[in-house]
């Protein structure tokens, strides 16, 4: 009996992981909104964290340069351009649009 309950916990844990769409900040599409879930604090400059690039803050991609770098974001209330090295270190979770919730 204890083995079965352990298997149920494992299965529910994996289902829980699949429900979230966690990706890198670099993978956001234009005007897509997400929330920062994991910043590699050791890899990010202190200045970015002071400007609001921390876990739990909403972020949106405004534009990409023609050759892919820099990327222009709104992070919290701050607009900033970030290079590929930095956006590879930030994990985000997509936020569902209000329109998608209504349908």
SS3 annotation, the chain = CHHHHHHHHHHHHHHHHHCCCEEEHHHCCCCCEEEEEEECCCCCCHHHHHCCCCCCCEEEEEEECCCCCCEEEEECCEEEEECHHHHCCEEEEECCCHHHHHC
Band of residue 20 on the pLDDT scale cut at 50, 70, 90: low
- Domain residues for the domain of 66 are 21-102
Band of residue 32 on the pLDDT scale cut at 50, 70, 90: very high
As for how many domains the chain has, the answer is 1
Q: What are phi and psi of 4, to 5 degrees?
A: -65, -40
- Tens digit of each residue's pLDDT (9 = 90 or more) over 56-90: 999 999 999 888 789 999 998 899 999 988 888 89
13 within a domain of the structure (yes/no) = no
Range picked from 10-19, 35-44, 70-79 for highest mean pLDDT: 70-79
CATH number at 77 reads 2.30.30.90
92 within a domain of the structure (yes/no) = yes
55 within a domain of the structure (yes/no) = yes
61 within a domain of the structure (yes/no) = yes
């Amino acid at each position: 009996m204890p083995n079965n309950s352990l298997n149920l916990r494992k299965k529910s844990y994996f289902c829980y992981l699949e429900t979230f769409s966690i990706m890198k900040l670099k993978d956001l599409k234009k005007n897509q909104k997400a929330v920062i879930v994991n910043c590699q604090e050791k890899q990010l400059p202190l200045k970015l964290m002071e400007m609001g690039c921390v876990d739990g803050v909403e972020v949106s991609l405004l534009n990409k340069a023609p050759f892919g770098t820099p990327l222009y974001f709104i992070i919290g209330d701050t607009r900033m351009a970030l290079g590929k090295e930095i956006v590879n270190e930030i994990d985000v979770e997509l936020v569902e649009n209000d329109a998608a919730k209504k349908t």
